[in-house]
Structure 1
């Protein structure tokens, strides 16, 4: 009995202790408070410096709100083509495929999409050449869902820049900033329409400048080498297929560059994006508006970036610069006194540390411009003034009418000797010297040597007259080129749309 009483007393004491402990804990819980403080950034890592030099939380909202209305969605439509695939693997031979989408080789219309940037309230829009190249119809959609047909004002495959225009006034637009003053590590935003997702904004930094990735089309110029200008801004801001032609901006919303390409084993973002610097874009746009075609200065040199191998092989006195290995025909540099083995280290007041830097600087100059080229020649520095020429060895600007009629077709023509006309029993015509890579090569089976006698039943008597006829044609208008071949003297007709 005594043992039972002890057990009962222990149980009672245990219960009392349990209840007391529970009430004490409950009292403690009631004192716990969860506070919510407004306007405190969730991240305390990313900061920037304001105008007064004070550290403030990094914010992209102001730039994004300013830029998005000025970035448009572009849809390019190509009419049906019978051109066949060459059977090669497209990823290897079409570097824009994964960024812009495949260029379908099929019957019936094909469509591709990209982005563009409004640069003028009157409707001028900058995009990539590969976004509108070969397109029969170009449509532009604004962020407010309005859609307009666009006119292609001009293109420059050498920089992959194109200028188009819509018939609309009072549009929001972006202003160019000096891309030369941007720095590696600077924050930038990429705005575009990846995967048809309109008005997408991503953030990153400028990872590098002056990048050459050998992605632009190379054109042979009678042994004078490539005319492509690659001096890309590299960024880690996420860009994907559809961003092509979109904006790369600083945190104030100024246009730093036009997004052009990605480096990716999969075709989607993997950390590397590239944009054409705004200084190059601005020069191309100004030329297209003023001259109708890009006026590009030409030194006429073959160059390579100085590296340890070149230093050792040629016993160079500098570790940076552009090494001159050869000269082209009609080279303005050679005429001015530059020599093979010279290392260009500065042009005017701009240091030249690589061949890319030289190509970019000269590419932003026009024929007739004078530049002061500083070279290191066997350990001695000297500055030599050079007057730049164009690819044809002239200092005059190329007039728009010299190329405007042929630009879309991509062909080169020549007048025909009267004896040939008499032999073929025709009154007039012009010969196709080079079919080129334009619409004629894409949409017809025309070959070199074809003699064009009529355009839509209008007789053609000279190259100048052919050019004048084409200049009057509107985009999308049907054109029928009639003529013959010397070796197959019967009438052929080739039809396409401008």
Structure 2
């Protein structure tokens, strides 16, 4: 084909494309085509850009010679390393200028600048922060009216619901993306934190942290927090803190300036398929209770070792991590309704959370079953609680590491009762999927998971 004909054909294609675009319909049967533009126009003023700056302290040693590294008197110098960062935030109270964002956005910041979509800028102060939940509450003194966002009930979210993300990716300025709820109750990104994330495939990148995740009503369903992706880039897997958690935490920060966590007073772990099979559970999700702390909120409410908590305030719990996050974001003194599987029966138990500074904690099950360092004795005749008695445990031994203590009475492996060492070892060998010691300690039942 000649160059002239190629040019002519290209021109025809371009003109055709332009003509087609020009006649695309704006309405069908008299109805306007759906658009998110009106919603975005309404809520975008409530989402802000955040820029931070400060100096992180770095300690270093300057030894005169190699031996100085080995002495406690070697010279230590502290330097300040300047840094700057970008993020996003959401206005939750227009009258008082309160803004919610992620703790990691403002961590170590000496100066926090809030930029509105109107172009106005304000310096913000920190009202309160909670590293465990990665939430921080800021405030600006505004001379002009602000727009606040409305909270949705995030407990009503379902997988497949549409989502809209607004934030400041890579410092480009306010950007809007959309997607769906990909999953609920995600955890495991950082085991030290309280995690019960909403997962979405809306495009979220570095700089979106602290921004809004909305439903199609323009209500806040979550605060965008983390992504899975190389070099901070989007691959369609992003996570947001549920709005109900954010609301509970922000209320505590406003009232106390800190988080005063309510606690149950339990230790536990996940309901794995192996555990469910070994304990003949008809459910394969929830939070399994290994131990109940004496005189704790859980103890007073009637929770017991071996129970499985399946929901909190009517919302299903998929894992112990989800339970930990739910409880850890409620304040002390709150009443919580728990659905529980107890002794093969479904029960509803109301608990008034305690007021200590700790929260529910997990127990890491030991992968081995070695009673090295422990002296075991068979049940004595007429023993009030028949079982294998632990007469002694050597410090730092394998038994000590497993959590077995002197005075324990091993009464069962999984659900099979044992009264002597032979039965104990036989049942441990028979239990292929999950091995759990049911122990009476100070007249209270606990479980130690061995696998």
After TM superposition, the score normalised by the length of structure 2 is 0.65
Q: For 1:239 and 1:329, how far apart are their aligned partners in 2?
A: 45
How far 1:317 sits from its partner (Å)?
Answer: 3.5
What SS is found at the alignment partner of 1:82?
Answer: strand
Q: For 2:229 and 2:20, how far apart are their aligned partners in 1?
A: 45
Report what 2:315 is aligned to: 350
Native 8 Å contact 2:185 2:318 kept in 1: no
How far 1:35 sits from its partner (Å)?
Answer: 6.7
Pairing of 1:2-151 with structure 2 (within 5 A): 38=23, 40=25, 57-79=33-55, 81-83=57-59, 107-122=80-95, 123-151=97-125
Give the aligned CA root-mean-square deviation in angstroms: 3.0
What SS is found at the alignment partner of 2:232?
Answer: coil
Cα pair distance change 1:387/1:202, threshold 3 Å:
same
How far 1:37 sits from its partner (Å)?
Answer: 6.4
Pairing of 1:169-248 with structure 2 (within 5 A): 169-215=144-190, 218=192, 228-248=193-213
Native 8 Å contact 1:342 1:376 kept in 2: yes
Q: For 2:246 and 2:188, how far apart are their aligned partners in 1?
A: 18
Deviates most, 188-197 or 69-78: 69-78
Post-superposition Cα deviations, 1:294-320, rounded to whole Å, max 9, x if no partner, equal 232211222323231111233323323
Report what 1:88 is aligned to: none
What SS is found at the alignment partner of 2:185?
Answer: strand
Post-superposition Cα deviations, 1:137-182, rounded to whole Å, max 9, x if no partner, equal 1111112222211100000112111100111041122111111122
Q: For 1:156 and 1:377, how far apart are their aligned partners in 2?
A: 34
1:254 is the counterpart of 2:240: no
Cα pair distance change 1:164/1:40, threshold 3 Å:
same
How far 1:392 sits from its partner (Å)?
Answer: 4.5
Report what 1:93 is aligned to: none
Post-superposition Cα deviations, 1:109-159, rounded to whole Å, max 9, x if no partner, equal 211111111112132111001111111111111122222111000001121
Q: For 1:56 and 1:117, how far apart are their aligned partners in 2?
A: 30
Pairing of 1:95-494 with structure 2 (within 5 A): 107-122=80-95, 123-168=97-142, 169-215=144-190, 218=192, 228-328=193-293, 331-392=296-357
Deviates most, 247-256 or 351-360: 351-360
Cα pair distance change 1:148/1:329, threshold 3 Å:
farther
Q: For 1:379 and 1:365, how far apart are their aligned partners in 2?
A: 29
Q: For 2:114 and 2:358, how far apart are their aligned partners in 1?
A: 39
What SS is found at the alignment partner of 1:310?
Answer: helix
How far 1:370 sits from its partner (Å)?
Answer: 2.6
Report what 1:412 is aligned to: none
Native 8 Å contact 1:330 1:393 kept in 2: no
Q: For 1:241 and 1:347, how far apart are their aligned partners in 2?
A: 33
Deviates most, 380-389 or 244-253: 380-389
What SS is found at the alignment partner of 2:124?
Answer: strand
Cα pair distance change 1:271/1:383, threshold 3 Å:
same
Structure number with higher strand proportion: 2
How far 1:255 sits from its partner (Å)?
Answer: 1.1
Q: For 2:202 and 2:269, how far apart are their aligned partners in 1?
A: 30
Post-superposition Cα deviations, 1:217-266, rounded to whole Å, max 9, x if no partner, equal x2xxxxxxxxx321111100001110000111112211111100001234
What SS is found at the alignment partner of 1:74?
Answer: strand
Cα pair distance change 1:213/1:124, threshold 3 Å:
same
Native 8 Å contact 1:177 1:278 kept in 2: yes
Q: For 2:197 and 2:356, how far apart are their aligned partners in 1?
A: 23
Cα pair distance change 1:40/1:265, threshold 3 Å:
same
Q: For 1:197 and 1:84, how far apart are their aligned partners in 2?
A: 36
What SS is found at the alignment partner of 1:366?
Answer: coil
Cα pair distance change 1:338/1:63, threshold 3 Å:
same
Q: For 1:253 and 1:317, how far apart are their aligned partners in 2?
A: 39
Q: For 1:332 and 1:282, how far apart are their aligned partners in 2?
A: 23
